[in-house]
Amino acid sequence: MNKERVLEHIAPLNLLQKEPYRVEEIGDGNLNFVYRISDASFSSFILKYAPPYLRLLGEDFKLPQNRICVEMHTMRYFESIAPSFVPHIFHCDEACFYGVMEDLKGYALLQNERLAHEISLVIYEKLGVFLALLFTSTPPSREEGFYENATLKQISKNYIFVYPHIPNHEALVIPSFFTPAFKSALFEENIRALRDVFLHVKECLIHGDLHTGSLLVHDNDIKVIDAEFSLFAPLGFDMGVLFAHILLGELHALMLGEKAQTQEALLSIWEHFSLHVKEVPSHILGQSVGFCGVELYRRLVVPAKAKPLLALPSHLQAKAYQKVETLAVSFVENYLHVKQIEDMLRLLKENRWL
């Protein structure tokens, strides 16, 4: 797919109104190519194309192109249950492997906004509502593979639960200033337990990669994007990944001596999730803390590093990595004992994050 082909594909959709048309490649995602198409009347749309490989690693790392179809199916389902939380999908071409969607002009990635200034707690409240909608809703029954891609699920399993815990694995990229600490048998046992929960508990259809780089904000509005890793799994996985990346953003502020709102952000999510679910099953918070720890740790050693850590001055990065690893281990080792939000906050205080 190139800029000329993009125009060839979008023209029959009659979305553009006035020539000349402009196509620009935008975004720096790991998997796909993203283009903005605009016209002289200032209308614009986004086309997302899935090449037969992983964009980050190149053509030798093959991936099934129908991952974009899974993403579009899931995003349309999300729109049906939470229309204000996702961009509108105009078209999905299941033969040429692209989707056309609303252009969220004026929005910025949540992770970038947090690096620049505080985020309104309304954003975190809305994320709690979105998680509640995922948990309390069920998508229409479809054939296997309609809402999840087996290859991407395998990638998630390997890069989250397997490779990060194999010393010197070829898939890892470990900074020279960071030497992973020896892990206890309890840590390793709990990693395996969380992996099995992730793979086998089909609690609801989740986003599968709900971090602050998959969320766009504008004032108090928020949009969820990039659902190609969607799958049927525990709700706690989405919540845990989200917790992890909020913590990373708050750590960036904390280490620079800026105001952090760690406790307020986490409480806003949990309280609004609980408010909309009403009777929250006892396992969700504990699993969320466990998955949060897994996500925190793996972002230290996999190629896709956490941007809030990369954005720190070099003289602070070693300390930040050590601080993240210590909390990650604490969360993984203790997640089964987390029954209330106060238990999570206690672990954060013990590890000097609050």
The pLDDT of residue 210 is 98
Whether 323 shows a pLDDT value over 90: the answer reads yes
| Mean pLDDT across the chain | 94
Q: What is the DSSP string of 61-96?
A: EE--TTHHHHHHHHHHHHHHH-GGGSPPEEEEETTT
How confident is the model at residue 3, as a pLDDT?
78
pLDDT at res. 34: 92
- What residue spans of the chain are helical by DSSP H? 3-10, 67-81, 110-116, 121-136, 150-156, 185-200, 235-255, 262-277, 283-298, 307-310, 314-334, 341-350
* Domain end marker among 79, 102, 125: 102
Measured CA to CA in angstroms, residue 34 lies from 2, 8, 62, 64 at distances of 11, 16, 18, 17
> How much is the pLDDT for 95?
92
Give the CATH number of the domain where residue 27 resides: 3.30.200.20
pLDDT above 70: residue 28: no
Q: Are residues 127 and 8 in the same domain?
A: no
Q: What is the DSSP string of 93-131?
A: ETTTTEEEEE--TT-EEHHHHHHHS---HHHHHHHHHHH
High-pLDDT (> 90) share of the chain, %: 86
Range of the domain at 59: 3-102
Q: Does the pLDDT of residue 290 top 70, yes or no?
A: yes
Side chain identity at residue 98, one-letter code: Y
Number of domain units in the chain: 2
pLDDT over 70, % of the chain: 99
Q: Looking at the structure, do residues 242 and 261 belong to the same domain, yes or no?
A: yes
Range in 34-43, 87-96, 200-209, 295-304 with the lowest mean pLDDT = 34-43
Examine the domain organization and report whether 155 and 270 are in the same domain: yes
| Beta pairing partners, 93 | 98
**Residue 78 pLDDT:** 98
Residue 103 CB partners (closer than 8 Å, separation 6+): 36, 38, 44, 45, 46, 87
**Amino acid (1-letter code) at residue 335:** Y
How sure is the predictor about 2, in pLDDT bands with cuts at 50, 70 and 90? confident
198 lies in the same domain as 275: yes
Considering the domain architecture, whether residues 62 and 188 belong to the same structural domain is answered as no
Same domain, 53 and 87: yes
Q: How far apart are CA 147 and CA 256, in angstroms?
A: 41
328: its two tokens: 């990650």
Question: What CATH number does residue 327 fall under?
Answer: 3.90.1200.10
Calpha distance 354→346 (Å, rounded): 9
On whether both 174 and 55 belong to a single domain, the answer is no
Residue 127 has pLDDT above 90, yes or no: yes
Where among 74, 102, 130 does a domain terminate?
102
**What pLDDT does 16 receive?**
81
Higher pLDDT, 308 or 31: 308
Q: pLDDT category, 324, cuts 50, 70, 90?
A: very high
pLDDT at 31: 82
Question: How far is the C-alpha of 34 from the C-alpha of 48, rounded, in Å?
Answer: 4
Boundary residue ending a domain (81, 102, 123): 102
Q: Which token pair is 314?
A: 């070099």
Convert the pLDDT of each residue in 56-89 to its tens digit.
Answer: 777 888 899 999 999 999 999 999 999 999 999 9
Report d(CA 2, CA 114) in Å as an integer: 33
98 lies in the same domain as 125: no
Specify whether 47 is located in the same domain as 79.
yes
Q: pLDDT tens digits for 153-168?
A: 999 999 999 999 999 9
* Phi and psi torsions of 205, nearest 5°: -85, 120
In this structure, are 171 and 316 located in the same domain?
yes
Q: Are 223 and 87 in contact (CB under 8 A)?
A: yes
Same domain as 123, residue 81: no
| Mean pLDDT (whole number) for 327-351 | 98
Identity at 242, one-letter amino acid code: L
Tokens of 136: 């309390």
Q: How confident is the model at residue 238 (pLDDT cuts 50, 70, 90)?
A: very high
Are both 22 and 94 inside the same structural domain? yes
